[in-house]
């Protein structure tokens, strides 16, 4: 009985691997613009700066599908994530995309969630 009352230590995977989930909530009708931008430009920039994209998705839920562009990245450790994103932000082609976003206003808001795998996660 006392074992159940003892404080539990958080359990985590053996590695420092980090995942990043990004959900871009686009303004209504702008999802095709976001998909096109990633298909033609952004995905190439991310690859050039060693950002390992696990996948790109759009929401299957009809209400969210109209404006949700989702992608996930994987890193060996948190430092790699910081270094890679810093390089992307300095890339002139990426800066042009950001300027286009400022003028076109396709993005309503972005959610960024960093995740670490649990010790029982199939993906580590």
Indicate whether 6 belongs to any domain. Answer: no
Q: pTM of the predicted model, to two decimals? A: 0.82
Is the pLDDT at 90 greater than 90, yes or no? Answer: yes
Please report which confidence band the pLDDT of residue 12 belongs to, taking 50, 70 and 90 as the band edges: very low
Pairing of strands 68-75, 52-58: antiparallel
Is the pLDDT at 9 greater than 60, yes or no? Answer: no
Helix axes 92-104, 78-90, angle to 10 degrees: 80
CATH assignment of the domain containing 78: 3.30.70.100
Mean pLDDT of 68-92: 95
Q: Helix, strand, or coil here: 110? A: strand
Question: Could you give the number of structural domains in the chain?
Answer: 1
Tokens read off for 88: 């992307």
Indicate whether 5 belongs to any domain. Answer: no
Please report which confidence band the pLDDT of residue 121 belongs to, taking 50, 70 and 90 as the band edges: confident
Indicate whether 9 belongs to any domain. Answer: no
The whole domain housing 47 covers 16-115
């Amino acid at each position: 009985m006392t074992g159940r009352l003892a404080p539990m230590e958080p359990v985590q995977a053996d590695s420092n691997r980090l995942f990043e989930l990004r959900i871009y909530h686009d303004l209504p009708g702008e999802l095709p613009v976001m998909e096109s931008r990633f298909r033609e430009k952004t995905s190439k920039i991310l690859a050039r700066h060693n950002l390992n994209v696990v996948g790109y998705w759009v929401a299957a839920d009809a209400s969210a599908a109209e404006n949700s562009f989702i992608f996930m990245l994987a890193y060996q450790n948190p430092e790699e994530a910081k270094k890679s994103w810093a390089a992307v932000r300095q890339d002139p082609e990426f800066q042009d995309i950001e300027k286009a976003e400022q003028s076109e206003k396709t993005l309503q808001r972005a959610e960024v969630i960093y995740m670490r795998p649990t010790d029982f996660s199939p993906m580590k």
